[in-house]
Structure 1
Amino acid sequence: MNQPSEKLSDRERSAGLRGSGDRPAESSSIEIGTPGDQIFSMSEIDPVLDAKMRLVNETMDEIGWTNMHLKLFFLNGFGYAADSLILALQAVTASQAALEFSPSFPYALNVSVYTGMLIGVLFWGLGADVIGRRFAFNVSLFSSSIFAIVAGASPNWIALAVFVGLAAFFAGGNLVLDTTVFLEFLPSKKQWLITLMACWWGLAYVIVAAFCWPIFSNPKYTCADAETCTKENNMGWRYVWYGNGALVLVCSILRVTVMRLKETPKYHLTKGNDAAVVETFQSIANKYNRPCSLTVEKLESLGVINSTYGNARYGFGEFWAHIRGLFVTKQLAISTLMIWLSWILIGLAYPLFYVFLPDYLATRGAQTGESGPYYQWRNYMLSSIAGVFGPVAAGFMCNHKVLGRKYTMAIGALITMAFFFAYTAVRTPAENVGLSCAISFSLNIYYGTLYAYTPESLPSAHRATGNGIAVAGNRVMGLVSSFVAAYGNTSTSVPIYVCATLYILMAIVAVLLPFEPYGKRAM
């Protein structure tokens, strides 16, 4: 294992190699208001990498918040929105498309979109750690928009499923890429914005509702039954795909024109490219007239890091190196497994509830809504708007010293469980709307914080891989819910108690997570 060079100055030794809470005040001129420790230390595994990472984090704090970060919040948010947009488009257009194509397996689009998301998040997650964040960031959103537009022109059910799956494949990686890219440029005081960024996820549902409400409320664009349904009298679902695909296309163009994204400095650092790290920071500092004391000499004087590459640069060895990197310490291994478990639990609980809930309520005589598409899409719009504010509340909560990320997630999970139980007693349209909005709000408190906690608590060299596997577990559970809906008995009360147990487990796991990122710097 490489050791720090003997050239270290006193300042660099104290800034890079001391343990948490042991860094003297003079090691950095930046005051962030909270301890400047990293979320976890790699000093026992690779002391040079740990030292360099601390120096890079200090440089990010030295430069501070700039207009570049504001642009990233919006440009990365587009990708976040695209991920949920494709999921929502599939959900709201599948029934109308099924009337036109009369498929033998009506849940094929659900399977297709989750399969595409599953493969996409693994492919782009690993790819971001192997070839870098920049290429995937620039390519994925544009490609997704093209297939979303083409999906609207599908001539049959099979073609639609293929194009939906491809759109999902390219969109699916954004949930990993956008948090990773944003986090790896953020000063430590602003890391809570990763939680707030999840509001873009909810905003996508508002956008879909805004398209669907006027289109599906007009009988001119929707057919009522399979016997009379043709392409000519059922263009509504196609217009929804065209319009939203075009919107994603515009967003993808903005991502490569508003700002020419540079590769993240932490990616360069973990690949041993010290010169590129300094060049990136100096470029930002010069453009926004900010101080930047980092030099190549300072980084190189700390020594040479252990390689984060595998034996085969683009083979299985590289993949295994990134997996192994998530388990290099006992604490990190426990954290990684618990994060993955959290994504699996929410991935099963959320869709499963909505799969069986309509049948369960119908067997008990509930009248949950006024008839007609106008009221259906009005309610969808209201619950979607409520969902946008969940991450906003989570952003404030997780940045509070008492709550932090862990207790914010626990509170979100328990409140959501309570509202889910309350929903089983719904009997009127007003109760339906009110509780739907409450669930959408509270669930996104949990989801928004989990979105942020995941990349924050993973090591930079393997961040996208670990995040990708976490979200992949979520997608697998989405696939499971599709087959439950197709072949399971969804009218019993058993799934209610299963979901309740899952949300309790989520809260317990959140509290027991070994790392609390509040006031700490991401590795």
Structure 2
Amino acid sequence: MNTYTSVPSGEQVVQELPWRWRVQGRIFLIGGLGFMFDAWDVTLNGILIPLLSKHWSLQAADAAWIGTANLIGMALGAFAWGTIADTIGRRKAFTATLLIFSIFTVLGAFAPDFLWFCLFRFLAGFGLGGCIPVDYALVGEFTPRKQRGRVLTAMDGWWPVGAALCGFVSAGLVAAFADWRLTMLVMVLPALLVFWVRRSVPESPLFLIRKGRRKEAAEVIDALVAATGAEQRAYSLPDPQDVPRLSAGSAWTQLRGLWQFSWKITTAAWALFFTVLLVYYLSLTWMPRILIGAGFEEYKAFVTTAGMAAVGLLGVVAAALLVERLGRKWILAVTGPLSALTLVVVALVVDIPSAAVFWLLVFGFVVQVAIPVLYAYVSELYPTELRGSGFGWASTFSRIGAGFGPLVFASFFWPPSGWPPRSRWPADWCCWPSSGWVSSPRKPSSVR
């Protein structure tokens, strides 16, 4: 192969290939399923909180650890798996995340007490936490440059699919069997199937070059060229030391590089991730219990939450159609505050079921316009060598905030905030010791 500077690099050749669904599209589908399971697991926290509150007689502040343990595990996973991928390769990290998640999800379903349950949820979250940064980076590396923005925005479409599936499937299981363990075990089999399918994804050529495996890198590139039907042409491969580490978390070196590049951009990226995703994660974590406390039956609360997530798919479509016309900043400036304001409206009408459902659907749509645009916008704020780490660190920061957010919310802001109204609190679910409030002795007749 010619190594003159006029010859394109192997990375350029991959990024200039024509889009083929059987090639790059297959990687998009397999990587997107990781997003789907990430959404399923986050949404499952909201399902488990009311179920385990009854099963183990948990107070609200204790029940919040169901979501906190899982999301903190995801935050550490988002931080650690990028570095792990640098060591063992994107392909192996790509498959290992779901395997670890599956193992500890099964153990969590059979946990003997609440402490062991939280530990297993933390470890399951650690495995799954690597999915978004690793999957996002891997799909981005194999996607042609012309389609990358649209494809990476479409990746977030898997999130409302996973969240909605969790709500609908859990509602059916609870209505039919009234067993919280089944809501966890039901997603293990498809996760293991995806783990098996992921083994067919090729290794990142950049990783192979960095490890000095230039022949294997050339084989991957040549196979991609042949599979897409592109014209064969000469290309160069850089020296291993010249290949940037594009993982989501090469620890402190990348963190220092982000802040040295621009403290303003990094501050803005972290602030956007923290605020927008905190609102969404809080809604997924607490909405089922809030609705049950307002008088919804369990399965109806789960179905409503699933509907809130499902309508988000329309939001992702709207984001993909509007992002180039209106611009990233304008969409975020409108949809971010609007999603929070919509939740305030939900709080005011939560005692009116039809109104609450309507405004929750509005919230689900608006927030899912904001999130994919946020992902695309933050990724574009950094140069190529910092794009993966910039996204990964912002994601880690948001998961930490989202992890402790439910705990703070349950301990200090709810129910003193009045959500749901005090007359509708289920008497046997919470004592609210931190706030001094005492639940009403009257239970809503519609709560089972």
Fold match by TM threshold 0.5: yes
Q: Percent identical across equivalent pairs?
A: 22
1:243 and 2:196 are equivalent in the alignment: no
Q: Deviations over 1:56-92 (max 9, x none)?
A: 3354224443511111121001111111211122220
Q: Deviations over 1:14-59 (max 9, x none)?
A: x8xxxxxxxxxxxxxxxxxxxxxxxxxxxxxxxxxxxx5xx73354
RMSD in angstroms over aligned alpha carbons? Answer: 3.4
- Amino acid paired to 2:80: F
Q: TM-score, normalised by structure 1?
A: 0.70
CA contact (8 A) 1:369 1:376 kept: no
Match of 1:115 in 2: 72
CA contact (8 A) 1:148 1:163 kept: yes
Answer 1 or 2: which has greater helix percent: 2
1:341 and 2:271 are equivalent in the alignment: yes
> Partners in 1 of 2:36 and 2:251 — Cα distance?
28
**One of 331, 337, 357 as aligned partner of 1:408:** 331
Query: CA shift at 1:123, angstroms?
Result: 0.7
1:443 and 2:367 are equivalent in the alignment: yes
Query: CA shift at 1:407, angstroms?
Result: 3.0
The 3 A distance-change label for structure 1 pair 135 and 455 is farther
SS where residue 295 of structure 1 aligns?
A: coil
Query: CA shift at 1:437, angstroms?
Result: 0.7
Match of 1:325 in 2: 257
- Amino acid paired to 2:48: T
CA contact (8 A) 2:274 2:402 kept: no
The 3 A distance-change label for structure 1 pair 67 and 494 is same
1:212 and 2:170 are equivalent in the alignment: yes
Match of 1:73 in 2: 28
**One of 279, 284, 288 as aligned partner of 2:219:** 279
The 3 A distance-change label for structure 1 pair 356 and 196 is closer
Match of 2:134 in 1: 177
Match of 1:228 in 2: none
> Partners in 2 of 1:56 and 1:307 — Cα distance?
10
Query: CA shift at 1:392, angstroms?
Result: 1.8
> Partners in 2 of 1:283 and 1:173 — Cα distance?
27
CA contact (8 A) 1:153 1:238 kept: yes
CA contact (8 A) 2:90 2:138 kept: yes
> Partners in 2 of 1:470 and 1:274 — Cα distance?
32
> Partners in 2 of 1:387 and 1:79 — Cα distance?
18
The 3 A distance-change label for structure 1 pair 125 and 457 is farther
- Amino acid paired to 1:249: L
CA contact (8 A) 2:100 2:124 kept: yes
SS where residue 233 of structure 2 aligns?
A: coil
> Partners in 2 of 1:205 and 1:353 — Cα distance?
12
> Partners in 2 of 1:211 and 1:262 — Cα distance?
33
Match of 2:201 in 1: 261
Match of 1:84 in 2: 39
> Partners in 1 of 2:278 and 2:304 — Cα distance?
24
Match of 1:471 in 2: 395
> Partners in 2 of 1:393 and 1:477 — Cα distance?
27
Query: How many residues are aligned here?
Result: 411
Does 148-157 or 451-460 show the bigger shift?
451-460
SS where residue 431 of structure 1 aligns?
A: helix
> Partners in 2 of 1:243 and 1:358 — Cα distance?
19
The 3 A distance-change label for structure 1 pair 111 and 295 is same
> Partners in 2 of 1:480 and 1:431 — Cα distance?
29
**One of 314, 318, 323 as aligned partner of 1:393:** 318
- Amino acid paired to 1:89: L
Q: Deviations over 1:442-495 (max 9, x none)?
A: 101111222333444444444443322211111121233233233214356699
CA contact (8 A) 2:15 2:143 kept: yes
Match of 1:505 in 2: none
> Partners in 2 of 1:59 and 1:181 — Cα distance?
13
**One of 30, 34, 50 as aligned partner of 1:95:** 50
Q: Deviations over 1:350-395 (max 9, x none)?
A: 4557889899x99xxxx99764234323322322221222212212
**One of 347, 369, 377 as aligned partner of 2:302:** 377
Query: CA shift at 1:432, angstroms?
Result: 0.8
> Partners in 1 of 2:284 and 2:33 — Cα distance?
26
Query: CA shift at 1:423, angstroms?
Result: 2.8
Match of 1:149 in 2: 106
> Partners in 2 of 1:375 and 1:6 — Cα distance?
63
> Partners in 2 of 1:304 and 1:239 — Cα distance?
48
> Partners in 1 of 2:294 and 2:411 — Cα distance?
26
Q: TM-score, normalised by structure 2?
A: 0.80
CA contact (8 A) 1:281 1:292 kept: no
Match of 1:25 in 2: none
CA contact (8 A) 1:142 1:249 kept: yes
> Partners in 2 of 1:262 and 1:446 — Cα distance?
32
CA contact (8 A) 1:126 1:464 kept: no
> Partners in 2 of 1:6 and 1:280 — Cα distance?
18
Query: CA shift at 1:122, angstroms?
Result: 0.8
- Amino acid paired to 2:408: V
Q: Deviations over 1:170-228 (max 9, x none)?
A: 0011011111110111112211111111111111112112222222224xx33xxxxxx
SS where residue 114 of structure 1 aligns?
A: helix
Query: CA shift at 1:237, angstroms?
Result: 0.6
CA contact (8 A) 1:356 1:485 kept: no
> Partners in 2 of 1:100 and 1:357 — Cα distance?
19
CA contact (8 A) 1:336 1:458 kept: no
CA contact (8 A) 1:384 1:440 kept: yes
> Partners in 2 of 1:273 and 1:408 — Cα distance?
43
Does 402-411 or 193-202 show the bigger shift?
402-411
**One of 120, 123, 127 as aligned partner of 1:163:** 120
